[in-house]
Structure 1
Amino acid sequence: MQPTTPATDPWDVHRPPRADGRSVLVTGGNAGIGYFVAEQLASAGALVVLGSRDPAKAEAAAGSIRSRVPGARVSRIRLDLADLSSLRRSVQTLELDRLDAVVHNAGVALDDPPRRETADGHELMFATNHLGHLALTRWLLPLLSAAPAARIVTVGSFAAKSERLDPHDLQSRADYRPKRTYGRSKLAQMYTALELARRLGAVGSPMASVVAHPGGALDSLTPARPPLWSRTPGERLRGLPAGAVLQGKDAGAWPVVRAVLDPRVTSGELWGPRVFGLRGQPHREPVWSHLADPAVASQLWYASCELIGVDPEFHLLARRA
């Protein structure tokens, strides 16, 4: 079992290490956890690229970051993770010679039936949250490999902790329940991130694959960022009791930012909030027992690579020269 970080950990969430000269792509960086990850990384001096399906929303988020962070370097690309055929073209629009990190944050969470599929015939949440990010990793690998020690940070979810994958029904055709399907899509994403960490380690790559989760992050506890979103006084008051055990999305971004910037973070680790995994300072926690099963992760890896039509050995592109 991996030890947690000590209580005397000097990490300061309000003053992370400088990231000048580094470039980071944040998928879904126009809203929620992704927005605050982008804002905090920009505050540290990183060049942040917002990946979003909606250019107007991405530009509004970039404007918000620039208004709050003097000298912020923010750009955007159009990125639709549900459209697998578009991802290679999207990566080609990145005007970078290297990418120091990617944060796999974007996601879809449906509340109600019916089950929905993408144009490729994949269940929408599984496709967006898991398959799309795996395909994106494949196409980003040359840019990531050009960085000295790039990081691939996958944003998991506490919702995945109580779920288990059904290898015979990965896309919830036989058993579709929106909340369960969402949790399983995030679980698949986390499994794949840890499998990638094992594969990168096996070929001696300096690249790291890390999982971070935000704990319990609520809109009602999140500071306003007008014109993107705001809170009424009533919403703020109603959210106060939940603050004893949960937190806002600004704090939910802390484990992700630490996974990107802390030089002590290593491949294959899981980072989350310190207090019951739901709120508080970011710390390294033991990998959940069901996530530590390499056989399940390997089976999922091969099945997923087949679904997206990529070589399952694509990680070899990241091996040390």
Structure 2
Amino acid sequence: MSSRSGPSRSGHHRWDVHRPPPARGRTFLVTGGNAGIGYFVAEQLAGTGATVVLGSRSPDKAAAALVSIRSRVPSADVRHLPLDLADPASLKTSVDSLDVDRLDAVVHNAGVALDDPPRRETAHGDELMFGTNHLGHFLLTQWLAPLLAAAPAGRVVTVGSFAAKSERLDLADLQSTEDYRPKRTYGRSKLAQMYFGLELDRRLRAANSTVLSVLAHPGGALDSLTPSRPPVHVRTAGARLRALPAGLLIQGKEAGAWPAVRAVLDPEVRGGQLWGPRVFGLRGRPRAEPVKGHLTDTAVAARLWDASCELTGADPALGFGPCLR
């Protein structure tokens, strides 16, 4: 074993964020892999030799991301999967078009973040952020279940947010029909995702599944601290200089992708863990951090699960699907 993966003084092997272990022969799906954190997750996973599928509703943005990844990783095996998490009726068709026998991991990263009112809905009638960020991934997991179960050690990695830590779910108003404030609704949608990831792992363990469900979050990740990847992202010299003071506390999106990449690849990762940046949960190399506070409330997680089943019509008979009892 090389020194970069040898044991550290803490008893855990060292993890080199710039040289993750090879993953040739494995297939990973990254939702929202065309931009932001998702783009850098896809780029870093492509560097391992794995097949990386970018789930995106925009063919043009996906094409730009593929060009950028291939410019950085000439041997990259990457492709686009049309995927619209706001359209639940389309998700089975998207999964069928994956055309793979197994899926080694899915990174639930895609998300909608609105800054201003008014409240918006998906075509299905769900509040846009909750419907896309949580319910879309919830239902997608059901359709991916057989492919994940067919892998030797499949993983569901759900990307949460630091913004969720200060929020609480209102189980009586999950769709924010009574209290819609964009930033709060976004934070609650990310909190719902995190509850889902933890509850999914509890149910997978109860079913003796080999699939793991893991949480990750990027900490504080700014565009202005993110290296350029034209045409996906272009950072000006002025923006970089203005952001330097913030770099003492937070980081760019390339580094923000590290926890999710480790959650996908590290053989020491365990189901139900939460991975985030080492320094105050805001910046730095990835580490497992304790799941605490309201995220430990299994009663809320179970009630959210039941509500999500009702809202999506998820079928408990498919694989380890989201309504597994």
Kept in 2, the 8 Å contact 1:200–1:315? The answer is: no
2:261 pairs with 1:257: yes
Q: Which residue of 2 aligns with 1:234?
A: 238
- Relative to structure 1, is the Cα distance of residues 316 and 80 closer, same or farther in structure 2, using a 3 angstrom cutoff? closer
Q: 1:306 aligns with which of 305, 310, 314?
A: 310
- Relative to structure 1, is the Cα distance of residues 52 and 171 closer, same or farther in structure 2, using a 3 angstrom cutoff? same
Q: Over residues 233-271 of structure 1, what are the superposed CA-to-partner deviations in whole Å (9 max), with x where a residue is unaligned?
A: 110100100000000000000000000000000111000
Q: What's the TM-score once normalised by structure 2's chain length?
A: 0.94
Q: Which residue of 2 aligns with 1:161?
A: 165
- Relative to structure 1, is the Cα distance of residues 8 and 100 closer, same or farther in structure 2, using a 3 angstrom cutoff? closer
Q: Secondary structure at the match of 2:144?
A: helix
Q: Which residue of 1 aligns with 2:108?
A: 104
Task: Measure, in 2, the Cα distance between the counterparts of 1:162 and 1:7.
Answer: 32
AA of the residue aligned to 2:285: Q
Q: Over residues 199-247 of structure 1, what are the superposed CA-to-partner deviations in whole Å (9 max), with x where a residue is unaligned?
A: 0000100100000000000000000001222111110100100000000
Q: What's the TM-score once normalised by structure 1's chain length?
A: 0.95
AA of the residue aligned to 2:125: G
Task: Measure, in 1, the Cα distance between the counterparts of 2:42 and 2:320.
Answer: 29
2:208 pairs with 1:204: yes
AA of the residue aligned to 2:103: L
Kept in 2, the 8 Å contact 1:216–1:279? The answer is: yes
Task: Measure, in 2, the Cα distance between the counterparts of 1:99 and 1:91.
Answer: 11
- Relative to structure 1, is the Cα distance of residues 219 and 317 closer, same or farther in structure 2, using a 3 angstrom cutoff? closer
Task: Measure, in 1, the Cα distance between the counterparts of 2:276 and 2:217.
Answer: 5
Q: Secondary structure at the match of 1:161?
A: helix
The Cα RMSD (Å) is 1.5
Deviation at 1:70, TM superposition (A): 2.0
Kept in 1, the 8 Å contact 2:20–2:265? The answer is: yes
2:250 pairs with 1:246: yes
AA of the residue aligned to 2:111: G
Q: Over residues 148-202 of structure 1, what are the superposed CA-to-partner deviations in whole Å (9 max), with x where a residue is unaligned?
A: 1100000000000000000100011000000000000000010011000000000
Kept in 2, the 8 Å contact 1:273–1:279? The answer is: yes
For structure 1, the 5+ residue unaligned runs are none
Kept in 1, the 8 Å contact 2:54–2:78? The answer is: yes
Moved more, 111-120 or 309-318: 309-318
For structure 2, the 5+ residue unaligned runs are 1-8
Q: Secondary structure at the match of 1:209?
A: strand
Task: Measure, in 1, the Cα distance between the counterparts of 2:134 and 2:174.
Answer: 11
Moved more, 44-53 or 223-232: 223-232
Q: 1:82 aligns with which of 75, 82, 86?
A: 86
Q: 2:149 aligns with which of 142, 145, 149?
A: 145
AA of the residue aligned to 1:225: R
Q: Secondary structure at the match of 2:215?
A: strand
AA of the residue aligned to 1:92: D
Task: Measure, in 2, the Cα distance between the counterparts of 1:199 and 1:146.
Answer: 18
Task: Measure, in 2, the Cα distance between the counterparts of 1:272 and 1:317.
Answer: 27
Task: Measure, in 2, the Cα distance between the counterparts of 1:45 and 1:59.
Answer: 20
Q: What percentage of aligned pairs have identical amino acids?
A: 71
Task: Measure, in 2, the Cα distance between the counterparts of 1:201 and 1:69.
Answer: 36
AA of the residue aligned to 1:193: G
Q: 1:295 aligns with which of 255, 277, 299?
A: 299
- Relative to structure 1, is the Cα distance of residues 317 and 148 closer, same or farther in structure 2, using a 3 angstrom cutoff? farther
Task: Measure, in 2, the Cα distance between the counterparts of 1:44 and 1:68.
Answer: 12
Task: Measure, in 2, the Cα distance between the counterparts of 1:261 and 1:78.
Answer: 24
Task: Measure, in 2, the Cα distance between the counterparts of 1:315 and 1:169.
Answer: 30
2:274 pairs with 1:270: yes
